[in-house]
Structure 1
Amino acid sequence: MRTTRFAALLSAAALTLVVSGCGSDDPTTTASDSSSGSDTSASETTEASSLSVTDPWVKSAEEGMTAAFGTLVNEGDSDITVVSATASDITGMMELHETVQNDDGSMAMQPKEGGFVIPAGGEHELSPGGDHLMIMDLTRPVEPGETVTLTLTLDDGSTTDVEATVKEFTGADENYQDGEGMDMDSDEGMDMGSEDSGDN
Structure 2
Amino acid sequence: MSAYPRTRLRSPRAARRLGAATALSVLAVFATACSSSEPAPDAPVAGGDRITMSDQWIKAADSGMSAAFGNLRNTGDAPVTLVAATSPASDRVEIHEVVPDSTGAKTMRPKAGGITIPAHGEVTLRPGAEHLMFMDLRQPLRTGTETSLTLTFDDGSSTVVRAQVRDFAGGNENYAPGTEHPTHGG
TM-score (norm 1): 0.71
Higher strand proportion, which one? 2
1:123-169 deviations in whole A, cap 9, x for unaligned? Answer: 00100000000000001100000011000001111100111000000
RMSD of the alignment, in Å?
Answer: 2.6
Residue 176 (structure 1) shift: 1.2
Seen in structure 2, the aligned counterparts of structure 1 residues 58 and 123 have a Cα distance that, compared at 3 Å, is same
Distance 1:51 1:82 in 2: 9
What's the CA shift string for 1:38-57, capped at 9, x where partnerless? 8x744893111111111000
Q: Which runs of 5+ in 2 are unaligned?
A: 1-20
- Separation in structure 2 between the aligned mates of residue 101 and residue 176 of structure 1, nearest angstrom: 11
Question: What 5-or-longer segments of structure 1 have no aligned partner?
Answer: 1-20, 193-200
Measured in 1, the distance between the counterparts of 2:136 and 2:164 equals 19
Partner of 1:60: 60
CA distance in 1, matches of 2:176, 2:49: 34
SS in 2 for 1:94: strand
Aligned length: 159
What is aligned with 1:78? 78
Spell out structure 1 runs of 4+ moving beyond 2 A: 40-45
Residue 143 (structure 1) aligns with: 142
* Residue equivalent to 1:173: 172
For 2:185, the equivalent position in structure 1 comes to 191
More helix by share: 1
SS of the residue corresponding to residue 70 of structure 2 reads strand
Amino acid at match of 1:133: L
TM-score by length of 2: 0.76
Q: 2-side partners of 1:48 and 1:142: how far apart?
A: 26
Summarize the Cα distance change of 1:58–1:177 in structure 2 as closer, same or farther, 3 Å threshold.
same
- AA aligned to 1:69 is F
